[in-house]
């Protein structure tokens, strides 16, 4: 049985990760910004026989991250999934940039994963895995415009976590960056390519086999390396 912590667990892929990990007998700390409003997640936890517990964590807030991590106890963490995110504005304008929107993206999707990793670091050891959700939009090979804050932050997340991976390698902690696919969630809408169930199942398989020799790599959900 693995012990797993998942941010953004109230919905989408993160919710599915919580469900599928518990289904195979893993202990899951499901971290959500607003647990009181996470009806589906609470129902899942209630039906899990104690395998899933729900904890408050706003990854954009230092105090909330520290409190949320502390609220999960002291058990060693085998897998930490940094999933929580926001979309930001899809079509920003140079003559009217919403800096608050940009700052929110930075706080949640760039600083947030580092905050969470730092908070759980004392509970990570050789063999632990930290899987950070990036996006194909963060790759220099993405051939479209739009989503400036989102793309910039995901690019920064990949480079930052690649550096973190090198710095934690001697401790045997695997740090990975992943593109989960174009998934039909609240963020992407119903016209996407794959379901959260399909994405989560593939990501769990990929995470299970992620070796220290591959730390810092950027993969697609299906196990293919993603060009930077």
Compute the half-sphere exposure of residue 188: CA atoms within 13 Å on the CB side of its CA.
18
Q: Is residue 228 part of a domain?
A: no
Place 140 in a pLDDT band, splitting at 50, 70 and 90: confident
Domain tally for the chain?
A: 1
In a domain, 207, yes or no: yes
Calpha distance 51→46 (Å, rounded): 9
> How many angstroms separate the CA atoms of 60 and 74, rounded?
22
* Residue 227 maps to a domain: no
Which of the pair, 87 or 84, is modelled with greater confidence?
Answer: 84
Is residue 208 situated within a structural domain?
yes
CA distance 22 to 180: 20
The reply to whether 189 falls in a domain is yes
| Range(s) of the domain holding residue 205 | 3-220
Q: How far apart are CA 23 and CA 2, in angstroms?
A: 12
Tell me whether residue 225 is in a domain. no
Contacts (Cβ under 8 Å, ≥6 apart) of 148: 88, 89, 92, 102
Asked whether residue 190 carries a pLDDT value surpassing 70, the answer given is: no
Which of 97-101, 108-112, 129-133, 159-163 has the least mean pLDDT? 97-101
Ramachandran class of 58: left when φ > 0, alpha when ψ lies in -120 to 50, beta otherwise: beta
pLDDT at residue 63 greater than cutoff 90: yes
Entry pTM: 0.94
CATH number at residue 175: 3.40.50.720
Q: 226 in a domain, yes or no? A: no
Closest CA to 53 of 119, 17, 12, 5: 5
CB 124 within 8 A of CB 173: yes
């Amino acid at each position: 049985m693995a012990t797993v912590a998942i941010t953004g667990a109230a919905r989408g892929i993160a919710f599915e990760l919580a469900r599928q990990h518990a289904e195979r007998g893993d202990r899951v700390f499901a971290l959500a910004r607003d647990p009181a409003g996470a009806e589906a997640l609470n129902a899942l936890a209630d039906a899990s026989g104690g395998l899933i517990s729900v904890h408050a964590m706003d990854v954009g807030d230092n105090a909330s991250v520290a409190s949320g991590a502390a609220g999960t106890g002291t058990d060693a963490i085998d897998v930490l999934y940094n999933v929580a995110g926001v979309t930001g504005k899809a079509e920003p304008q140079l003559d009217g940039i919403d800096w608050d929107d940009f700052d929110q993206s930075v706080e949640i999707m760039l600083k947030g994963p580092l905050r969470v990793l730092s908070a759980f670091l004392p509970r990570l050891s050789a063999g632990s895995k930290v899987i950070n959700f990036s996006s194909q939009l963060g790759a220099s090979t993405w051939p479209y415009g739009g989503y400036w804050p989102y793309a910039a932050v995901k690019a920064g997340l990949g480079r930052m976590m690649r550096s973190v991976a090198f710095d934690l390698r001697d401790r045997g902690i695997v740090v990975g960056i992943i593109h989960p696919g174009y998934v039909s969630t609240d963020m992407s809408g119903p016209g996407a390519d794959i379901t959260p169930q399909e994405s989560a199942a593939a990501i769990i398989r990929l995470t299970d086999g992620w070796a220290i020799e591959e730390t810092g790599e950027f993969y697609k959900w299906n196990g293919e390396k993603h060009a930077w």
